[in-house]
Chain A
């Protein structure tokens, strides 16, 4: 893909995140183009989740910048970052257990998130189409009235992916979307992400190599908080450096 300025959506620019001397991210840089799907892999402790935390504003970089649509977002409050079009699925499913699936989705799909607009009953008409469409997309229409806490583990993951989608975010950060899933569920999750096509930009973190393979997306390898390698899964796999730090142990 041609990386002109208009194509560039996210640029992580030399970001270091330091916790009392330990560098979770160490001068890490990467870019994402609009519509791209990218997988980030790396051994435990490589800084993958910290990368997500930094982009979404949960962790503030010690140095470096995070540019989204050319603007530095690394100092913005979380809700402004989300408001600009980035949303994240957390590693442990973060659905709201006491709300129904539809209410969960309604909360995510709400366009007007100001508190004084919440003094009303029911889901506003303008949000309903997005909610129904997203429920259908993640295959939870028949579970719409079940409390989130009663869903099976895989369903919770899909609900949360759906919620992230329903926010209308352009950049989706999916932190281990297949954690705890069996092969069939993993395959469905891969289909779901592939079905987005180039409509959204997706950054996926995952350990599951068969899932990464199914996504068929370019891979960025991290190690000790640093950029190690980028390329197709096949290229990365055949790279001796990567094999040494990661795949060598993974087999």
Chain B
């Protein structure tokens, strides 16, 4: 695939481009409508998840078709907190009453606490990811088998949530939130604040992963991707590198899920199951799986396209997405990022 070189004026601007984008991002609440800002915030949250996929899929060669699970763990954690925070003492969330439940399940109780919820958003997806990845990689299962197992995990997770209607909200998920950490969700100030928090976390994820991919850890990960046997027979245990990368990607997916739930006002099995998990991979395939910036752009572009197409002709989206995926895989293995000439070979950002 031939790379296109940016036009001269753009090339000269390239060093300032990140700062320009950041300034635009910070100022977005000024010039975007509340609706558009909310969309942008959701897509940025998805960009955080996409960065995690660059780490594991692009640089680790680990294809996960189950990122929705970790996205869901983070999303449900914050949703449970908000359901409880809105309640007067001793009352049950609405959907539990409708299912005829009389007591709060014991594992719901700690989510009334703010620090516990924040810790859960970060730690639960990360630990779940670490334990799952270690169990699979330790048995030397990889490649397509790994992808299929993660796919099955996404299916099982969504099915489990749907089946436990009285404690999870079932198919409808959790929704109708009024406040988070004491801020009313309907106020424009909260919306702007949450947007900036999302932007900040996206920047931290981007910079953190950029460092990680440039570090010796990044080199080990790419080495394991390209020649696991060689690395193993140089005396390295390769499972930890893959497990740590997967846990970090799971953490980012969980944080993304929590932020998405705040912006969308809902988390449900339809957002975390098999199809959404595959869509997440498609964002990254479109944007470029070796490039963090590409993956963020991919998450924004694909979701924007999805939003405009779905609102015009809802049936068309799935076909369009399939076509896009085939086009990218056959013509642009490095995604949109592959079109932009990278400054150095094997460049990281």
A118 close to B216 (CB less than 8 A): yes
- Inter-chain contact A113/B346, CB cutoff 8 Å: no
| Residues in A whose Cβ lies below 8 Å from that of B215 | 118-121
Interface string of A112-143 (1 = CB under 8 A from B): 01010111111000000000000000000000
CA distance A6 to B219 in the complex (A): 39
Q: Which residues of chain A from 80 to 124 have any CB-CB distance to chain B below 8 Å in the complex?
A: 82-83, 87-88, 90, 94-99, 103, 106-108, 113, 115, 117-122
Q: A-facing mask of B204-229, CB < 8 A → 1, else 0?
A: 00000001101111011011001101
User: Which A residue sits closest to B241, measured CB to CB?
Assistant: A115
Is the C-beta of A147 less than 8 angstroms from some C-beta in chain B?
yes
- Chain A interface, number of residues (Cβ within 8 angstroms): 31
Q: Number of contact residues on B: which range applies?
A: 20 to 34
Contacts of B241 in A (CB 8 A): 115, 118
Verify A96–B229 contact, CB threshold 8 A. Answer: no
Q: Known contacts A94-B227, A119-B217, A120-B215; decide if A108 and B234 are in contact (CB<8 Å).
A: yes
List of A residues within 8 angstroms of B227 by Cβ: 94-97
Whether A7 is near chain B, meaning CB under 8 Å from some CB there, is no
Q: Are A113 and B236 closer than 8 Å at their CB atoms?
A: yes
CB distance from B280 to the nearest CB of A (A): 25
B233 at the interface (CB under 8 A from A): yes
Residues of A within 8 A of B214 (CB): 121
Return the contact of A96 from the options B217, B223, B345 (Cβ within 8 A). B223
The CB with the most chain A CB atoms within 10 A, among B212, B219, B223, B345, is that of: B219
Q: List residues of chain B with CB within 8 A of the CB of A13.
A: none
Q: Is the CB of B219 within 8 A of A87?
A: no
**Nearest-Cβ distance from residue A129 to partner chain B, whole angstroms:** 18
Is B341 interfacial (CB 8 A cutoff)? no
Q: Is B101 an interface residue, CB under 8 A from the partner?
A: no
Measured CB to CB, the nearest residue on chain A to B243 is A115
| 4 smallest beta-carbon distances between A and B, as pairs | A82-B235, A115-B240, A94-B230, A118-B216
Between A and B, 27 residue pairs with Cβ closer than 8 Å are A56-B233, A78-B232, A78-B233, A79-B235, A82-B233, A87-B233, A88-B233, A90-B233, A94-B227, A94-B233, A95-B227, A96-B222, A96-B226, A96-B230, A97-B227, A98-B226, A107-B219, A107-B234, A108-B234, A113-B234, A113-B237, A115-B220, A115-B236, A118-B216, A118-B241, A120-B215, A121-B216
- What is A's interface to B at a CB cutoff of 8 Å? 56, 58, 77-79, 82-83, 87-88, 90, 94-99, 103, 106-108, 113, 115, 117-122, 147, 163, 167
